[in-house]
Amino acid sequence: MYCRVSIHKHIFHFDWEEAIDISQSFGPDGANPRAFHLPPTEHKPVEVGDFIGSVKHGGSANCDIITFCAHGNGTHTECFGHISPNQESINRFLPKGLFVAQLLTIVPEKIENDLVITKSLLEGKITQDIQAIILRTDLDIIEIGTNWSGNNPPYFSPEALAYISSLGIIHLLTDLPSVDREDDGGLLSAHKTWWNIDGNIRSEATITELIYVGKHIKDSKYLLQIQVAPIESDAAPSRPLIFPIQD
Low-confidence ranges of the chain (pLDDT < 70): none
89-109 pLDDT, tens per residue? 999 999 999 999 999 999 999
Burial of 187 (0-12, 13-18, 19+ CB in 10 A): exposed
Q: Which of 175, 178, 144 is nearest to 30 (CA)?
A: 144
pLDDT at 99: 98
Residue pair 31/25 in contact (Cβ under 8 Å)? The answer is yes
Structural contact between residues 210 and 69, judged by C-beta atoms closer than 8 angstroms: no
Q: Where are the domains of the chain?
A: 2-24+71-244
Phi, psi of 119, rounded to the nearest 5 degrees: -60, -40
Query: What pTM was estimated for this model as a whole?
Result: 0.95
At 30 the pLDDT is 84
Residue type, 164: I
The CATH-assigned architecture of domain 2-24+71-244 is 3-Layer(bba) Sandwich (3.50)
Output Rg (C-alpha) for the chain, integer angstroms: 19
**In 13-146, which ranges are continuous DSSP H helix?**
90-93, 119-122
The strand order across the sheet containing 109-111 reads: 109-111, 114-117, 155-156
